[in-house]
Structures are given as C-alpha cells and as structure tokens.
C-alpha cells in the first residue's frame, strides 16, 4: 500500500482555490500509484476558520466542496479535513472531521476527540468532542485515523481524560494517520516530533502525519509533515515553510527501511527567519497585494523588517520612507540609505518638520506654554504615521509595522504613530532576538549595515534620547518579559530568579497598564509560545500588577 | 432562614477593593440578621479575569482573599465565587468555584459544571468541568448551589449533555442558589428571567440568583439579581446597572408571599442608555481617569457620545473639540456649539487646515498631481486624530471614539483617524439605534439639537458628501447587517428575506474585507448579542464573501 502526504498552503474560505489544490494532490497521488492521499485538518476551509463556522452558509460550502472532491476519488482514496454537522439533539452544532473518500463518495467520517482550547486555539467554541472510535478499512489494511490534538494527550498530567488511540488500538490497526494544523513556534518543531515519536512507540505503529503549511494572518504553519516508524524513528520529513508532496510505500515503513533520509537538526534562528518571510509573503499574496511601505528610522527594527520584507516580496516591492525630524541623527539617514542600496530597494526622504510645526502652532494656544513632553514626542510619531498611511492609501501599499515584542510589551511606542500597520512583522520578536536575526541575515555579507546593529537604540523623539534612559538593558528586560509572558511567572517567582524587586514590579506594571495599546495593534506574526494577540487574552480595565 | 443577595461592582484583579466590598456585604448581612450572604461568580477576582487565570500568583491571591473573607464569616455564612485549583492528575488546572464560608473557614467548595465557551465566553480555556454534585447543609436547610451557566441548559437542543440540577434534585434541596456573571445585552434581561423561571418551575424550588453589576471594559453587567418562587413568579428583583443589597426571608418565598414587588416591563432603549452610561463611567473610574475628550463633528454619533459621556462623567469632565475643515458646513459648528451649551460642556474650535496643508505640500512631490481621493480624505480625519491625541496626552484625557456599529461594520471610517480612542461608546449601536437613543436623551427637553438628528448624515471629507452617496439607507443597511452579524445569516438567506442580491453581496463583502480595520479599533461597549471584539472572532486574511 502506498500513502501520499499532501502538505498544502490553504486559504481560509477560498473554496475554489482549496478544492483545486486538493484535486491536484489527488492527481499527483494517482500518478504516484498511491492508495491514499492524506490532506491536513480542516483542509477544505483552511485553518482556523474561526467564527465563519457559525455560518451555516460557510459550513454548507465545505460540504459542497468535499462532495466535489469525492467525485475525483475513484482510483485513489483521500482523507480530507472539514467541519461537519453534529446531528445529535445534544451538544455543539459541529464536529471537526476527517472524511474518507473513495469510489467517488464519502465512505466514512472520523471526528476529532480532543479539542484544544488554549493559547490561540478555540476549538471547543465550535466543536462537539467525538466519542465513537472506529478504524478505517482500506484494501485490507486498518487505519487508525486521528486529528491533530488527538495524539497530544501523552504528557504526565494529561489535559484530557480520554486518549483516542487507547480506544483505536483495540481494533488492531496497521498504522496511524494524523491530520494536523499545528502552528509553528520556535519550540514547537522539536516538541511536535517528540510527541509523535512517543505515540509511534507507545502504540507500536507507524505514523503518517500531515501538517498545514503557510501563514493564516498571524499564525505560521511550518509544515514539516512526518513519517515515523513504529520504533519512533523518522522515515522522512517534508519541507518546512513550503508546500510539499511525497508518496511512501507502507512496506518500507513497516520494515523500517529508511531509504535516503538523514535527520537534520533545525536551526532556530533560520526557522524564525523563514517563518517571518513566509508570514509576510502569504499575508500580502492572500490579500491580493504585492507592495509594502514602511518607515525606516535608522534603527535595527525597521531595518530588519525591511530586509525580511525584501526577501518575502522582492526588493522592488518594498518602498522605504525615511522620515527625519530635527532630532534625527545623520547616521539615521545614511545607515538607512545604505540598507536600501544594499538591497536595491526604492526609498524616499520625506521631512516631517512642516507637519509637526503646523500641529505645534495649531495647538500652541491650547498648550499654554507648558513644557514639551510626551505629547510633542507623539506628534512626531503620528505625523510619520499620517504620511505613511497617505502613501499607502494613494498607491495601494500595505504599511508594515516595525515594533518589536520588547517595546510592544512595555508600551514603548506611539499608538496611531509607529504602532500603525496592516501587519506587525517582528511584534513577537524580542529586541535581543532582533539582533540575532539581523546577524543571521548578514551571515554571508553585510545587508543590514553594521552600524545599525551596533549603535545604541534610540527613538530619537527628543535630543540625545536613548532607549536605555527609560528602559533597562534589553538583555535584562527581555529575560523578565519572557518569564512573565511566555512562562507566566508572577512577580515573586521572577524576583527569586535574581532580578531586583523594584525593576520587576516596574516592568510587570508597564506590561499590564499598556494592555490598552496592544488591543489596537495590528496582527503580529507569531513565532513564540505566547504572542500578543488572540493567544494572550488580558483584561484592559484591571488592577492586577497594574 | 434569611438569605441576602449582594449585587456588587467588582474590579478585576483589585483584590483589596473586592475583599473590602465583600466584607461590607457580610456586615450588612449580619445587621439584617441574615443566615447566608450570597456574592456572585468569581467575585473575588472580578469577571472575566481572562488569562490572569494562567498566573498561579493571581490564583493564589484569590485563595488568600477568600481566606481573609472566611475569617469574617462567624455569625453569618457566605457564598463567594473564585477560581480554585484542580488537584486531580487529569484535566485543566482550575475550577470555577463557589466556596461556602462559615465558622470562620471554608466548609465546602462547589465547582461549575457547564462552562460557556461561545461569544464572549472562554471558560473552557481555563476550567475543568465539575462532575460531583452535593447539596450544602446549613441550619437544617439543604441548598442546591450552582454557578451561572449551570442553569442555562434548558433549551430544546441542549448544548451540554448534563444538567447539574438534575443531579442535585435527588438530594431533596429546599431551595436553589445560583451565582452568576451574566452580561447585559438588550435581549438578555428577558431571556435570563425566562431561563431562571423555567428552572424554578421544573425543579419546583425557589431560586435566589445573584448577578454581577458594573462594566468590565466592554462587558456591561446589568445586575437585576432575582428571587423567584417555586411557581416561577418573581418575588423581587434587585436594581439594574447599580449595586444593591437585599435580604429575604425564606419563609416568605416558600409561601409565595410577595411583599411589595410588582414586575415592571424593561424599556429597551432606556436600558441601552443606562448600560452605555455605566460603561463609560466604570471604564474611566476603574482606570483612575475622570476626564474625556472627543471630536464633535456636528453629526449625530459624536453628539450622542458627548451626551452619554456628560451623563456618565459630569458635563464639566467632557471636553469637546470642534475640528472643522474647508468641507465642514456652518451648521456643523453651530449645532455642535448648541449641544455644548445645552449640556454646559467645555469646548474649543481647532482648525485642521494648517496641518492638512502641511501634509499636502509635504506629499505633493510624491502624489505627482494625481487626483484627490481617499488618501486626502483620510489626511483630514488623521489630522483630527493627531490633534485630539495630543490634547489627550498633554492633559490626561481619555479620547472617546464616536463610531457607530453600522460604520464599523462596513469600514466607513479612517483607521488612525476617527477610529481612534480608548473606548468606543457606540461601536455596538447601529445608526438607526443611535437616532432612537438620541430621541430618548431628548425625551424631556432638547439636549441633542434637533437639527443634528434630522439632517442627512455626512462625513464631510469632500464637498457635498453624504453617507447615502456610498451606502444604502441606514434602515436597510442596518437590517442586512443585523441578519449577517447578530443572526449569522448567509447571503442566500438574506436575499430570501427580500433584499437585492447585488446589495447584499456588496454589504457582506464590505463587512468581511474590513475585518483588518476592526482588529485595531478600541473596545466597544457591548449591548447586542453579537458585538465586534472578543465575542466575534474572524480571520483577517480570508476569502469567504470577501
């Protein structure tokens, strides 16, 4: 028996495109002489469809799509993910399902049992959990089919009281298939492999695992579909961050024959880089846009964002605008120009002083000679915002936001100013990681000018301003933020790790009192286990540590 | 036996304040000679605490709080809601619990069984469902204690397969207590009463029901705690949108004695008004702010927002800024001034033309003589945004957003311009409802000038612009939007209701393609069954109807 894994980049709600890609996969499977082509979780709709699932019109279109696809499954069977109706009188209206298609029709439906409802996942919002367990019989083989989270309940303190494979194993399956939509973060690739390996070993069965690939707004699906033998060894691994299609002979997998595969260690910073590039590219292309605009400040964040965008969209499609004020240093201009020249990106210099002066003189009667403060600093950032958005509106660019996670965390940014943008490229990248990424981009030659990487970070909103005037060193800040945000440690626990109590209290208070700003930021490409946005839901009006 | 209902406005994570309010309630109960004082769901933390629940530091503070409260329960018992740890090896780490406090300690813990995970609710994200059912014995009476959703599974197609009261009824309880955090929407008050009445009748038991009151960012809890006898008759109803405390004699309730209560029909528009006023007031006060700023355009939305803010914060605390451009009509100024005079609110006129001209001349070399379009219109809206935010930053005002739900739905607003604000007051109020609300505000005398209510709506961003140039009449638009947003009807279903297909397709496409704008809007006070924000989760990059 031959099994094909189709690792595809779906587009949520774009049924025409998703159907066509799935049918292409079926054809490829036929050409490979395959017996089953496996597509990933909710392939037909794209993942996550979110509240589109509350529209019966949307769910009906998924049904129609799978009926169209079924007709193509005459020579080869297919496993395809989609939402289906729960026809019982009780429970949530839908299941998260996988249909088994053969002989031109739907032969069986398998529903997902374990519904993740943490971090970015909301599956219990829509789906009723499955409680019926049946292997699929195909050409004399028994297949234990599960959906994503169904295999993830193998930790010491399990989140769920059921294990679907514990039920299926009694029916003596020959192998396991798991269809997934498992988004990337820089710990996930390793953890995912361990979880899948554990399953193969625990149930003494080979596992064929198909993951999504591609970006869905902020969620980055890394692909990396896997074939693992019953000893837990990787037989093959599909591409990361790209579509891929491969066919395997079950015989080879059962005999542990590993034809040409040698497992490579993933390089974390390279994966983060590739994930962000894919995130930008998919955001633009799926929205039907080609060109980005961004403000280049001379600092590392905007330089890094521009370099990533140039790789994602092509240098010619990244329009850089330098928006100096009277506080901008000469090197901010020259370094930015050098970056644009290094990458051959178009740029312009647009001075903000006329706009800033106009606002200042308009407001002068109301500011009554009060000393210059954050109000004036923000006028600069917001004037830049207006200019960038005007160019975006006029010429159809999408504005890229260039804030990093450290700033977003402590509220070091101007709402409706530098916090603008359709997409935040590095909003889940700590400042220290931004340096690492920049060095990675420069691994072969200088792309981001060295001076941008080495100079002291500054917002340049007043004379001789430095980030370090108001924030601790980023090494320390990022470590405290990581413990608070990713590890959800409280102030006492972080102080115990060796940080000063006043500093910890100050940072945590900044994070909590700036929730209102992050509520209004663009979606941030997610690379960590805990990104701002859908995966981190905090009250705005609250007092805890605030 | 006497039972007191304590309907309190909690502040999320403000343990000091919540503890002190709960202890006050216990003292009031003592003075009334009460046997039990009942507080609402997650009273100790405030509701919803969201991802604060993922911090053991936060949960531990809840435990400490309830230990402090328990010590005060010597003469009178109390029922208090808080999160507690799940000490089993399996399942989610927490329960949504109610503790029974007496003799200075925690005598028992009751956990919530049915965990709402739809619309604005995310309870399955944090909590393990309960499966142990035990009545509470107190002074010879048996109490069936449940938590909010536990009583809501009484519809024909139940969402859950368990009914906690079906389990508890076998233990022959004398009465029911339900502690809740049931947020307001303009259908909820009626539905809630029906659900509770159904329970009383089904189980033939009196019910004491305590709800939250007060706003938690966008969520508006209306209070209206209830005592219902076993025949389903309302014995008493606590205040709406205000704190309240009342003590009842169980004897009276069991004998159906309804001392002085006559049930009043709620007036929908009055409730919406009171809900929004409470929402503004609580947002400001819980954040420690007193003063609002907003831009008065001369249109109905900003006038309504100002009138609501004046009622919430006091007229003197609402600073109105008129920001005319060359396209503003004279009546925009005169009507706005009249509004400010009617309410005795401070105002200033600040012209945007210098700022707009500065941007236009700065951008002139880049716009290359292209015709004026949305880019120039947005420059006006964004210049207003910069001025309002500068005043907000300088003097510590919170900017109120004045967009209505109809505009927010179709994207008729400028991101980083008139979509700015810390809080959206009427972002869940359709344009047609904005008229209704304005007429309600004018019920006794003209507060919002009649001309503001009767003139044709216009954004005034180009000469002679009218909303009706690009949008259908609001009567029609709002009906289509309501079917799509609140009722989740698809295009085919809406066309069947009698609307033209091209119009329906156009409107639904506008809603879906403007998801990216709404992602960045401020929290919107929620008055409907489906508000933008946490309760409506849509993909940005998607193709469905887009």
Under CATH, to which class is A2-266 assigned?
Answer: alpha beta
pLDDT of residue B271: 98
Its ipTM equals: 0.96
- Residue among B542, B495, B491 nearest B514 (CA): B542
B350–A543 C-beta distance less than 8 A? no
Of the two residues B460 and B300, the one the predictor is more confident about is: B300
H or E segment and range at residue A63: helix A56-71
Tens-place pLDDT, residues B399-458: 999 999 999 999 999 999 999 999 999 999 999 999 999 999 999 999 999 999 999 888
What phi and psi values does residue B234 have, to the nearest 5 degrees?
A: -75, 125
Q: What tokens were used for B105?
A: 């300690």
Query: Phi, psi at residue B175, to the nearest 5°?
Result: -160, 170
Q: Are A426 and A305 in contact (CB under 8 A)?
A: yes
Quick one: pLDDT at residue B258?
64
Task: Note whether B386 contacts A386, CB cutoff 8 Å.
Answer: yes
Cα–Cα distance for residue pair A39/A73, rounded to 1 Å: 13
Is B394 an 8 Å CB contact of chain A?
yes
Confidence of residue A460 (pLDDT cuts 50, 70, 90): confident
Distance between CA A405 and CA A524 in Å, rounded?
A: 9
Q: What is the pLDDT of residue A263?
A: 77
Instruction: Say which residues have a Cβ less than 8 Å from residue A498's Cβ, sequence separation at least 6.
Output: none
Which helix (H) or strand (E) segment holds residue A495: the answer is helix A491-496
- Mean pLDDT within A279-295: 98
Question: How far does CA B151 lie from the centroid of its chain?
Answer: 21
| pLDDT confidence of residue A219 | 98
- B130-165 confidence digits (pLDDT tens): 999 999 999 999 999 999 999 999 988 899 999 999
Give the C-alpha separation, A57 to A70, whole Å.
20
| Residue whose pair of structure tokens reads 């009694």 in the numeric block | A170
Can you give the pLDDT at residue A259? 59
- The fold of the A272-467 domain, in CATH, is Rossmann fold (3.40.50)
The pLDDT tens digits of the residues spanning B493-541 come to: 999 999 999 999 999 999 999 999 999 999 999 999 999 999 999 999 9
Of A426, A212, A219, the C-alpha closest to A303 is: A426
- Could you check whether B2-264 and B272-471 share the same CATH topology? no
**pLDDT value for B470:** 84
> Are the beta carbons of B524 and B219 closer than 8 angstroms?
no
Question: Which distant-in-sequence residues (6+ apart) come within 8 Å of B101 by Cβ?
Answer: B66, B69, B70, B73, B77, B78, B79, B80, B107
Residues of B in Cβ contact (< 8 Å) with A124: 117, 124
What mean pLDDT do residues A465-486 have?
Answer: 93
Contacts of B155 in chain A (CB under 8 A): none
What pLDDT is stored for residue A404 in this prediction?
A: 98
The alpha-carbon radius of gyration of chain B (Å, integer) is 26
Contact across the interface for B91 and A161, Cβ inside 8 Å = yes
pLDDT at A434: 98
Nearest to B217 among A287, A359, A539 (CB): A539
Per-residue pLDDT at B259 = 59
Domain B272-471: top CATH class: alpha beta
Sheet-wide strand order for B234-237 = B136-138, B141-147, B175-179, B207-210, B226-228, B234-237
Within 273-292 of B, beta carbons closer than 8 Å to A belong to 282-283, 286-287
Average pLDDT in chain A: 96
Of A161, A286, A383, the CB nearest to B541: A286
B11 at A interface, C-beta within 8 A? yes
Phi and psi torsions of A15, nearest 5°: -60, -40
Calculate helix-pair angle for B374-395, A374-395, nearest 10 degrees. Answer: 170
- Residue from B21, B41, B73, B123 carrying the catalytic annotation: B41
Q: Given A21, A62, A123, A148, which residue is catalytic?
A: A148
Residue A62 pLDDT greater than 90, yes or no: yes
CA distance A320 to A346: 6
Give the whole-angstrom CA distance, residue A208 versus residue A145.
Answer: 10
Task: For A74-110, give one letter per residue: b (16+ CB within 10 A) or e.
Answer: eebbbbbbbbbebeeeebbbbbbbbbbbbeeebbbbb
Please provide the size of chain A in residues: 546
pLDDT digits (tens, 9 = 90+) for A77-87: 999 999 999 99
The confidence score (pLDDT) of residue A416 equals 98
pLDDT reported for residue A465: 84
Q: How many CA atoms lie within 13 A of A265 on its CB side?
A: 3
Those of residues 67-86 in A touching chain B at CB distance below 8 A are: none
Structural domain boundaries in chain B: 2-264, 272-471
Q: How confident is the model at residue B260 (pLDDT cuts 50, 70, 90)?
A: low
Kindly give, in sequence order, each residue whose CB lies less than 8 Å from that of residue A132, ignoring residues fewer than 6 positions away. Answer: A111
Mean pLDDT of A56-85: 98
Alpha carbon separation from A371 to A374, A407, B385, B395 (Å, rounded): 10, 25, 22, 12
Arithmetic mean of pLDDT over chain B: 96
Facing B122 at nearest CB: one of A55, A90, A537: A537
In this structure, what token pair is assigned to residue B399? 């900017």
Q: Is B148 a catalytic residue?
A: yes
Q: Does B520 touch chain A (CB under 8 A)?
A: yes
CATH class of residue range B2-264: alpha beta
Contacts of residue B128, defined as CB under 8 A and 6 or more positions apart, other chains included, come to B86, B88, B91, B92, B93, B94, B95, B111
Q: What is the DSSP string of B484-513?
A: HHTS---HHHHHHTT--HHHHHHHHHHHHH
| Residue B234: Cβ within 10 Å count | 17
Residue pointed to by tokens 């370090």: A468
Q: Which residue among A62, A72, A73, A112 is the active-site one? A: A112
pLDDT digits (tens, 9 = 90+) for A231-278: 999 999 999 999 999 999 999 999 876 656 777 789 999 999 999 999
Residue A356 CA to residue A375 CA, distance in Å, equals: 12
């Amino acid at each position: 028996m031959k099994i094909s894994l189709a690792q595809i980049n779906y587009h949520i709600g774009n049924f025409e495109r998703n159907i066509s890609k799935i049918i292409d996969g079926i054809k490829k499977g036929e050409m490979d002489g395959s017996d089953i082509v496996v597509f990933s979780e909710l392939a037909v709709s794209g993942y996550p469809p979110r509240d589109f699932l509350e529209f019966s019109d949307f769910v009906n279109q998924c049904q129609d799509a799978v009926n169209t696809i079924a007709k193509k499954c005459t020579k080869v069977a297919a496993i395809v993910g989609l939402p289906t109706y729960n026809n019982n009188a009780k429970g949530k209206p839908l299941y998260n399902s996988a249909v088994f298609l053969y002989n031109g029709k739907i032969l069986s439906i398998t529903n997902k049992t374990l519904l993740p409802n943490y971090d970015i996942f909301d599956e219990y919002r829509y789906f009723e959990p499955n409680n019926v367990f049946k292997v699929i019989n195909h050409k004399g083989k028994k297949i234990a089919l599960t959906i994503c989270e169904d295999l993830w309940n193998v930790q010491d303190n399990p989140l769920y009281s059921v294990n679907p494979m514990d039920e299926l194993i009694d029916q003596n399956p020959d192998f396991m298939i798991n269809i997934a939509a498992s988004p990337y973060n820089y710990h996930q690739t390793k953890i995912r492999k361990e979880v899948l390996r554990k399953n193969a070993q625990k149930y003494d069965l080979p596992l064929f695992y198909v993951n999504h690939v591609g970006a869905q707004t902020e969620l980055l699906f890394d692909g990396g579909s896997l074939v693992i033998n019953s000893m837990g060894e990787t037989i093959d691994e599909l591409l990361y961050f790209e579509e891929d299609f491969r066919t395997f002979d079950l015989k080879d997998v059962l005999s542990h024959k590993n034809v040409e595969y040698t497992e490579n260690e993933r390089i974390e910073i390279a994966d983060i880089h590739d994930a962000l590039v894919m995130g930008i590219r998919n955001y633009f292309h799926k929205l039907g846009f080609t060109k980005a605009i961004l403000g280049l400040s001379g600092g590392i964040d905007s330089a890094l964002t521009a370099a990533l965008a140039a790789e994602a969209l092509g240098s010619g499609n990244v329009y850089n605008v330098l928006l100096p004020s009277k506080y901008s240093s000469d090197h901010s201009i020259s370094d930015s120009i050098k970056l644009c020249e290094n990458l051959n990106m178009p740029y312009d210099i647009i001075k903000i002083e006329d706009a800033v002066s106009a606002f200042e003189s308009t407001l002068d009667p109301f500011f009554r000679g009060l000393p210059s403060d954050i109000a004036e600093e923000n006028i600069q950032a917001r004037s830049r915002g207006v200019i960038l958005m005007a160019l975006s509106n006029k010429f159809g660019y999408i504005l890229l936001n260039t804030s990093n996670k450290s700033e977003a965390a402590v509220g070091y940014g101007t709402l409706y100013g530098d916090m603008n943008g359709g997409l935040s490229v590095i909003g889940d990248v700590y400042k220290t990681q931004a340096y690492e990424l920049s060095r990675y981009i420069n691994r072969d030659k200088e792309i981001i000018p060295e001076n941008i990487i080495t100079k002291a970070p500054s917002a340049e909103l007043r004379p001789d301003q430095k980030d370090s005037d108001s924030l601790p060193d980023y090494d320390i800040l990022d470590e405290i933020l990581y413990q608070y945000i990713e590890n959800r440690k409280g102030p006492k626990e972080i102080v115990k790790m060796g940080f000063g109590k006043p500093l910890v209290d100050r940072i945590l208070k900044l994070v909590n009192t700036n929730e209102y700003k992050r509520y209004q930021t663009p979606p941030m490409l997610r690379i960590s286990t805990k990104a701002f946005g859908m995966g981190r839901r905090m009250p705005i009006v609250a007092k805890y540590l605030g």
